[in-house]
Amino acid sequence: MITSYLALAAILFSIGLFGVLTKRNAVIVLFSIELMLNSVNINLVTFSKYGLVPGISGHVFTLFTITIAAAEVAVGLAILISLYRNLGSAEADQYDSMKG
């Protein structure tokens, strides 16, 4: 039972890592980071329920991770919209300088 949850988390993390390392669109990179964070949440809940000492600590850490992910999306999209207005592109390769 635990192996299926861990396999799902590993697959999601691998897809997210692939998206972060290979895609050039900044929105796709943000989505890939969200996939990676969700796979971590699956691991936290899995080990919280099926670990050596089952408890609620994994669920609490998952709530913190979801909160941090929401803040990351809000700040990341605000920066992305600002850069898109200035440069006219959503390609991450063009965001190499923070001028002005």
Please report the domains of the chain, with CATH numbers, ordered by start residue. Answer: 2-93 (1.10.287.3510)
In the three-class reduction of DSSP (H, G, I as helix; E, B as strand; rest coil), residue 91 is classed as: strand
pLDDT digits (tens, 9 = 90+) for 11-69: 999 999 999 999 888 889 999 999 999 999 999 999 999 988 888 988 999 999 999 99
Whether 33 and 77 have beta carbons less than 8 Å apart is answered as no
Core vs surface per residue 29-60: b (16+ CB within 10 A) or e: bbbbbbbbbbbbbbbbbbbbeeeeeeeeebee
Phi, psi of 26 (to 5 degrees): -65, -30
Whether 41 and 66 have beta carbons less than 8 Å apart is answered as yes
Is the whole model's pTM more than 0.95, yes or no?
A: no
pLDDT at 100 (0 to 100): 57
- pLDDT higher than threshold 90 for residue 93: no
